[in-house]
Amino acid sequence: MASAPTPLCLVAAIAANRVIGLANRLPWHLPADLAHFKQLTLDRTIVMGRLTWASLPGPLPRRRHIVVSRDPAFRPRGATPASSLDEAIEVAGAVPELMIVGGAQLYREALPRAERLLLTLIHAEVAGDTFFPPWDPQDWQERQRTEHPADARNVHAMTFLELCRRHHEPLGGARSRV
């Protein structure tokens, strides 16, 4: 009997125009979002692409890191390499959920397989060169929403949003083909 697939959860901060990055950096400084990201990912296994890994100062404390790169010689210090999302899932082993934390290419690949989205929706359009993939709201059920206003430390208001995938059942059983 095959085991159930490891649930994937995408964690991202997204501007109103779907921007997630500019020149391999976050195009904003929002301490509330950084604290939220930390709270969501502590003691979890996180998966990221090589460019996201390169944007970090080093491994994030109290997290297991898996870094996806097509370069077979890539050996990230403090992280486990994987050549693909599928290999990252395999390398992760038995974890309750795998957190995908960027970048854009990995989000595009993982979104169709994700069970949850943990998004920070930033209430501003910002300049950027990297975008979160579009998603169909019909496929997702809002589970939780927390508003965070702009303040002295956070120049933009934001919404912390948890979305869970809807599993659509055909009405009346199997559909007939015409």
Let me know if residue 159 belongs to a domain. Answer: yes
Q: What is the pLDDT of residues 74-95, one digit of tens each?
A: 999 999 999 999 999 999 999 9
Q: Which of 104-108, 123-127, 160-164, 171-175 has the lowest mean pLDDT?
A: 171-175
Give, in order, the Cα–Cα distances in Å from 13 to each of 10, 45, 51, 82, 169. Answer: 10, 18, 16, 24, 31
Let me know if residue 171 belongs to a domain. Answer: no
Let me know if residue 24 belongs to a domain. Answer: no
Could you tell me what percent of the chain has a pLDDT over 70? Answer: 92
Dihedral angle over CA of 118, 125, 58, 89, nearest 10: 40
Count of domains forming the chain: 1
Q: How many residues belong to the chain? A: 178
- Structural domain of 107: 8-17+34-145+153-165
Let me know if residue 128 belongs to a domain. Answer: yes
Let me know if residue 172 belongs to a domain. Answer: no
Looking up residue 98, the CATH number of its domain turns out to be 3.40.430.10
Which position has the higher pLDDT, 177 or 26?
26
Let me know if residue 178 belongs to a domain. Answer: no
- Residue 176: pLDDT band with limits 50, 70, 90: very low
- Residue 178: pLDDT band with limits 50, 70, 90: very low
